Amino acid sequence: MDYKTKLVLWIASSIILYASGVNIAWYYRQPRSGRLGRLVERAKSWPYIPWFLKALEFLYYIGIPYTALVIYGVVPSNLLGLTGPDYLSGLWTLCGWTLISWFGGLGKGLAFGGGAFISLFLIRKWYARVSATLPFQAEEKAHSIRPLGWWVIFRDVVYSEIHWAFYRSCPILFLGDYWGVFVGFLIVILEWWIDPAWRASFLEAEGVTRLGIAFSMAIVYLFTQNLWLVILVHLTIAEVIRRIR
């Protein structure tokens, strides 16, 4: 079995794991009858369950790409955007990219990142105006978002970008950079759509923002090919949106 087929199987397995986890969590969000239902409710009350779920989250978003990249070598690091095409040229490098590549990509990242932020800001502003005309229950729901700390923002951005890069690597391998980036974005949307919780809330402000950021970061990656730079742009946009929110 060649490494291309292995990469397809790794990504398919990742999607299946995600689909199984989110659908089980959605089904058992309310107490269920039967022995299995009672076991689930008992597990929910376990004091260490938050730490256990965080460990699973880390293994899923970081562990799977790391295992595929380092241990089994089914995906080259350059397809993930971890290293540039000239990182072995002997020039000074930073995170696998030469300083020349960093300066070249920085301008593009700032330009496209700035455009993405303006678009997302206008979308959120429009949503705030629309939600003001909704019935009280919907308006209350729209404005009951719990503020997130900087560490949660940082963790979610790193998890998301590494996960998206992993899914993006397979279509880039088969289709090239341009079509591969957009097909990778569609794979991410497919995975989200499998989640009943996301389907129930994707038209709310946070769902629309998440969708817009995923598409914007795909564009930034297309023009920079630098995952580290994409993470920095994503972090900047997420932090500014957090402060505005």
State the pTM of this model: 0.86
Q: pLDDT by residue (tens digit) across 208-235?
A: 788 889 999 999 999 988 999 999 999 9
pLDDT at 174: 92
Question: Largest alpha-carbon pair distance within the chain?
Answer: 64
Question: Which single residue is written with the structure tokens 């330009």?
Answer: 111
Q: Would you call 78 exposed, middle or buried from its count of C-beta atoms within 10 A (0-12, 13-18, 19+)?
A: middle
d(CA 13, CA 10): 5
Q: pLDDT by residue (tens digit) across 156-208?
A: 999 999 999 999 999 999 999 999 999 999 999 999 999 998 888 777 777 77
Amino acid present at 52 = F
Which residues is 97 bridged to in the sheet? 94
Percent of the chain with pLDDT over 70: 88
Residue 87's closest CA among 103, 98, 76?
98
| φ, ψ of residue 134 in degrees (nearest 5) | -80, 165
Q: pLDDT by residue (tens digit) across 39-75?
A: 878 878 888 888 988 999 999 999 999 998 888 888 8
Query: Quick count: other Cβ atoms within 10 Å of Cβ 240?
Result: 13
| φ, ψ of residue 103 in degrees (nearest 5) | -65, -35
pLDDT at 65: 92
